[in-house]
Amino acid sequence: MRHERIGSLLPNRWKYQWLYWRRQTPWDTQVTPPEVIEFIARTPPGKALDLGCGTGTNAITLARHGWQVTGVDFIPKAILAARAKAARCGVSVEFLIASVIDLPALAGPFDYVLDIGCLHSLKAEDRTRYATRLSRLLRPQAWYMLYAWLPRTWEGGVVGISTEEVEILLREDFSKGRTEIGEENGNPSSWYWFQRR
């Protein structure tokens, strides 16, 4: 059974902008997840892309560990905050205002792409465009790490993406490394590690 975004169930760009202006951004924890720290600890630095980077926490962590990082988010206020935060931390990160499904300005290939929470919020047709662009941005043997909600009830509908859907979406160009099912605030979620063929 497919679980897609249902019309107004997920916040649109304007709602995200409004939440940033009101500083009501519970997803912006200011903490890099242990899964990302583990990856950084065992992987030599290269060129990284943080999709949906928000205020830059993970991009900055990568830069502090020697990565050349590009962060992308479609909310201008988030990107402005990310640029200011990187300057305060004394690291160089390229932050761009762009949608994760439309990334013409990016110069790959990348060695590592991180997505914490973008893919599961896209419409089905946008997920396909996302996967196609992702394949083109990663060099062979590069890693893609994804954190996504598993299907859950939210604001009167069902949102998220199943592990089967993720694997089907990426199977043409990626090999699955591992999947870890967990939860976020009592709701199911999953981490995925894929490697570009």
pLDDT in tens, 132-180: 999 999 999 999 999 999 999 877 888 899 999 999 999 999 999 999 9
For residues 197 and 138, give the distance between their C-alpha atoms in angstroms, rounded to a whole number: 9
For residues 19 and 14, give the distance between their C-alpha atoms in angstroms, rounded to a whole number: 9
Give pTM, 2 decimals.
0.88
CATH number for the 45-99 domain, one of 3.40.50.1820, 3.40.50.150, 3.40.50.2000, 3.30.160.20?
3.40.50.150
Q: In the prediction, which pLDDT does 6 show? A: 31
pLDDT in tens, 38-91: 999 999 999 999 999 999 999 999 999 999 999 999 989 999 999 999 999 999
Q: In the prediction, which pLDDT does 103 show? A: 85
* Comma-separated ranges of CATH 3.40.50.150 domains in the chain: 45-99, 109-197
> What number does CATH give the domain 109-197?
3.40.50.150
Q: In the prediction, which pLDDT does 5 show? A: 33
For residues 189 and 195, give the distance between their C-alpha atoms in angstroms, rounded to a whole number: 20
For residues 5 and 15, give the distance between their C-alpha atoms in angstroms, rounded to a whole number: 15
Would you say residue 9 has pLDDT above 50? no
